[in-house]
Structures are given as C-alpha cells and as structure tokens.
Amino acid sequence: MDEAKQAWISVIIPVYHTPASLLHICLESIAKQSLHGLIECIVVLDGEQEIHFPTNFNSSNRKIETITIKHGGVSAARNAGLAKATGEYITFVDSDDELPAQALSCLYNFAEQNTCDIVQGGYAAIFPSKIEHHGSAGKSRIAIGNDLNAFRRNVLNPESGVSLVWGKLFRRSFLLDHEIRFDTEMEVSEDTAFVFDASQYASTVGFIPECVYLYKRNNSSTVSSFRLDYLSRILVAINKMSYRIKNNETYTHVFRDYILFHLLLVQVHYLFNSSAPWNHRQRKRQYMNTLEEDVFKDALKGDFSDFSLSKRISLFALKYHLYYISLLISFVRHKQLHI
C-alpha cells in the first residue's frame, strides 16, 4: 500500500471491553464500505484489554491502526483518535454499532460537492424487537448563513437527532483549525457539547436523507445500566452546556428543553431504575430531593409544548411531584425499552 496516499476518511472507534463478535461486525461493516478511496480505521483501546481483529481488514484501500490509552472514558479515547487521524474527513463509530455499505460514500460525496464542514445523515435505532428510522432531512440540502442558526438550536434539542456525534462527517482541517475536541470532564452529553462547539464555527452544514448509521440499542448499554453518580453526571453536563450558551437569548428556550429532556432521563434511568439500591421510602426521598434542584425547578416552571404528549404527561407529573404517576410512567417506559 502506498503510505503517502492520504486517507479520504478516518473512522475513529473507541473500545472499552466490547465483545469481540460485535467489534468484528463493526469493523467488517467499515471494510465493506463502497467508498473506493482509502479509509483509515483508528481503534482506540480505552485501557489495557485483550482484543483480536479480523485478519482480512487491511487492503489497498483499507487500513486499521490501534492505540491504547490509560482508561479515561469515551471522550479521551475519541480525542486520542483525533490526534492520530490523517484523513480529509473524520467520522465516529461506536464499537458495537455498524455502518450501512453506502454510508461513507454518501457522506463523502456530498461533503466534497458542497464544501461542507459537517454533513449529517439519517440513522436507524435497532431495538431488540423493533427498528426506528430517524432522518435528518427529507431531501439533501445545505445550511449556510442564517440557516445555520436553526441547526445550532437543534443541537440543544436531543430529540432532533442532530446532537449525536455519530452519523456525521467532519472536515478534519475544520476541527483542527478551531481546536474542537471532546470535553473529558463530561461523561454525559459529551456528543452534544462537541457538535455544539463545532456548529459555532461551521460555515456550511449538509444534510442527506440516506441512513448512514445503525445504532444498536441493547439492555447492557451505558444508558440502560444504573450508576449511583448518574444525577451528578447529568448536572455536570447541564452546567457545562450552560457555560457554552452564556445566557445567549438565541438558545434560552431550547436550552430549557435540553434540561427537561435530561430530567426525563434521570427519571427513567436513575430515580426509577430497578437496579437502584433504594427501598421505597429512600426512592421517594431521592425523587423529591432531585426535583428540588434549582436547575430542574426553574425548567419545570414553563410549558412543555415542544414535547410529545407522553413526555408532557411525564413532565407534568414531575412538576407537581406526583410520585406514583412518575413511577407508573417509568415502569411502562422500562418495559418498552426492554421488549
């Protein structure tokens, strides 16, 4: 292989004890990309771990490199991958997910044709019993000038689907020029912070309707498991994002929705997580204490018109401290997530 040939795309994959079978599927999906240019796959091992790679990955247009870092979390791993990358463009893939065969060619071709700093595609969320399709656009389009403000606001709206770091292509020179990196102090919403930071400098953002990412939701994922520090991690993320918007009126309303969305996550994955080590009385006390947090109290004062009916009901129950309704809603939500 010509070592002087620059990669068209660097694919950064952080790995932390991913089952070998899932990692192999992920890597094979990258090896099978229809893009005929060089794809550089950078696997970042987040801490020492034994790992085996497919022997047939390297070819004239595919190469794989590995980095091992001291365990520091997904943000540190992605930053290490960014420092190593040489491609014209960067994309991020989680080690238990996949890329459809046309993903990188669709993103790359559109980026090149429209000189985009960022290109956003659609994705499919794969649950044990269903698949949800999320599109970023009904047809291909670009955002420039004032149209970029809508994209920046949508980054703070988790339900818009554009705050995710995967399913995107970033021009590497653009990230380097503006020193865009992942915030290693954030363990929740680090994707949102990265995309928001990038959006502040982007001059052209592209959107394509094609599905470019297969997100596999499983019951052992970090968003499904219980962590005693989950609430504190959420509060750190909110504070970090609050600093970024600096009371900018452009983002005031959508940032309130950002806070409420994360409160709903706290409800399901923390307060009413069946793995939490609390008895009934302790859980109810934790529920009340959480809702006394100033950041949540303030956010709950307004209306919830931007949310779906089910989320509006959940937020209404939280606003008025209707513990047993919140309990019932969370029970139903857990059933939906684990079907």
Q: What domains are defined for the chain? A: 9-216 (3.90.550.10), 230-338 (no CATH)
CB atoms within 10 A of CB 164: 21
Q: Over the chain, what is the mean pLDDT?
A: 91
Q: Which is more confident, 167 or 249?
A: 167
Instruction: Tell me the per-residue pLDDT of 79-122, one tens digit each, with 9 for 90 and over.
Output: 999 999 999 999 999 999 999 999 999 999 999 999 999 999 99
Report pLDDT for 302.
87
How far is the first Cα of the chain from the last one, in angstroms, to the nearest whole number? 47
DSSP class of residue 149?
H
Whether 160 shows a pLDDT value over 60: the answer reads yes
Q: What percent of the chain has pLDDT over 90?
A: 76
- Of the given ranges (97-111, 141-155, 164-178, 312-326), which has the lowest mean pLDDT? 141-155
Distance CA 30, CA 296 (A): 41
Whether 222 shows a pLDDT value over 50: the answer reads no
Classify the phi-psi angles of 167: left when phi > 0, otherwise alpha if psi is within -120 to 50, otherwise beta.
Answer: left
Whether 140 shows a pLDDT value over 80: the answer reads yes
Closest among 300, 295, 12, 255 to 155, alpha carbons compared? 255
Instruction: Tell me the per-residue pLDDT of 247-257, one tens digit each, with 9 for 90 and over.
Output: 788 898 899 99
Q: Which two tokens stand for residue 28?
A: 């094979």
Distance CA 100, CA 90 (A): 17
Of the pLDDT bands very low, low, confident and very high (cuts 50, 70, 90), residue 9 is very high
State mean pLDDT over 7-21: 94
Report pLDDT for 37.
94
Whether 54 shows a pLDDT value over 70: the answer reads no
Distance CA 54, CA 330 (A): 41
Whether 187 shows a pLDDT value over 70: the answer reads yes
Looking at 180-338, which runs of residues are DSSP E strands? Answer: 204-216
Of the pLDDT bands very low, low, confident and very high (cuts 50, 70, 90), residue 44 is very high
Report pLDDT for 1.
41
Contact of 260 with 304, CB cutoff 8 Å: yes
Q: Rounded to two decimals, what is the model's pTM?
A: 0.92
Whether 280 shows a pLDDT value over 80: the answer reads yes
Of the pLDDT bands very low, low, confident and very high (cuts 50, 70, 90), residue 338 is low
Q: Which two tokens stand for residue 143?
A: 């955002």
Whether 184 shows a pLDDT value over 80: the answer reads yes
State mean pLDDT over 292-313: 94
Report pLDDT for 218.
65
Contact of 237 with 262, CB cutoff 8 Å: yes
Of the pLDDT bands very low, low, confident and very high (cuts 50, 70, 90), residue 211 is very high
Bridge partners of 133? 124
